[in-house]
Amino acid sequence: MTNLSVNINKIATIRNARGGNMPNVLKVAQDCESFGAQGITVHPRPDERHIRYSDVYGLRPLIRTEFNIEGYPCDKFIDLILKVKPTQVTLVPDAPDAITSNAGWNVKDNFNFLNELVDTFTSQGVRTSIFVGTELENIEWAAKTGTDRIELYTEPYASGYAQDREAAIAPFIQAAQHAKSLGLGVNAGHDLNLENLAFFSKNIPWLEEVSIGHALICDALYYGLQKTISLYKACLNNN
């Protein structure tokens, strides 16, 4: 079964738009868990435009499922991971001013950096995941770092799904199969939604986890949070 990790960044964005504490990010995370989410994801950025570092510290003792913290491993982020010790850290190569993640790592060019990070986090009992595209050689380099998992950057799949879903999924199946053969767990995330998630999950049934935020929160405006989480989980259990 593939786990659904709900990214709650957008909840923090709404809160920050008006100040105060409405909606309450910590309470929403707990509600997501009670509604069936198997994990909570946050992506703190240096400017704290959505999730704040203080939110991450506040969430740690409350999360009862898996806690995934993703982000670019600057010094402040590394320190956060070592203090919080989440279930998983997902290393993402986005610049501080990026609106959202838009590419995976070139692992070969950043191998020493990533290898050292994986060693550091693994020694503290934190599962590691490296955000990558579908290039097979790049996935091989990721495996050499000793990382536990990769997370496939799925925006190209989502963009091509409507026109030709078979062509869109093909490189992801190949990448996921190659990762599996190398002993890597496979996560996925970016632009997955109720339209395209079931097909992705059906074709990669050994997928460990999807992390979904923007689309899920948008859907929750219409369906409600509890119903939306159940709809996404249904997409993951259609095999």
Catalytic residues: 43, 70, 190
Q: State the maximum Cα–Cα separation within the chain, in Å, rounded to a whole number.
A: 48
List, as residue ranges, the binding site for 1-deoxy-D-xylulose 5-phosphate: 45, 50, 100
Nearest to 16 by CA among 43, 60, 55, 73: 55
CA 72 to chain centre: 13
Q: Is 24 left (phi over 0), alpha (psi -120 to 50) or beta?
A: beta
Place of tokens 């703190």: 44
List, as residue ranges, the binding site: 7, 18, 45, 50, 100, 191, 213-214
Would you say 116 and 144 are in contact if contact means Cβ atoms under 8 Å apart? no
List, as residue ranges, the binding site for 3-amino-2-oxopropyl phosphate: 7, 18, 191, 213-214
Sign of the C-alpha dihedral computed for residues 176, 177, 179 and 183 taken in this order: positive
